[in-house]
């Protein structure tokens, strides 16, 4: 299915991704999105969540826009 929306960009450069698209792609508040641009297009895709230290994708905790796994958190605590 292809979703097409027309959205106005606000003064801060923000746009709203419609609820139907967020639901379709399982995007929730706090999720990271990857934004790419070329000369004509902007592409926004759901970023793969993985630990910034070991690339694990399980048991992640979000912090300051990054993800850290519980094993690395334990190692950081020493």
Give the binding site for Zn ion (CB under 5 A): 51, 53-54, 56, 69, 72
Nearer to Zn ion, 25 or 53 (CB): 53
From the CB of 71, what's the least distance to Zn ion, in Å?
A: 5
Closest CA to 62 of 72, 71, 51: 51
The CB-of-33 to Zn ion minimum distance in angstroms stands at 21
Nearest residue (CB) to Zn ion, 16 versus 47: 47
Calculate the alpha carbon distances from 34 to 4, 21, 44, 75 in Å.
19, 15, 6, 28
Continuous segment of H or E residues that includes residue 67: strand 66-69
SS3 for 24?
A: helix
Indicate the residue among 21 and 73 with the shorter CB distance to Zn ion.
73
Shortest distance (Å) from residue 60 CB to Zn ion:
8
């Amino acid at each position: 299915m292809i979703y097409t929306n027309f959205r106005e960009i606000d003064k801060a450069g923000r746009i709203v991704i419609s609820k139907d698209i967020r639901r379709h792609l399982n995007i929730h508040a706090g999720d990271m999105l990857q934004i790419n641009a070329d000369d004509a297009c902007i592409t926004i895709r759901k970023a793969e969540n993985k630990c910034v230290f070991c690339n694990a994708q399980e048991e992640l905790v979000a912090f300051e826009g990054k993800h850290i796994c519980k094993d690395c958190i334990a190692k950081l605590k020493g």
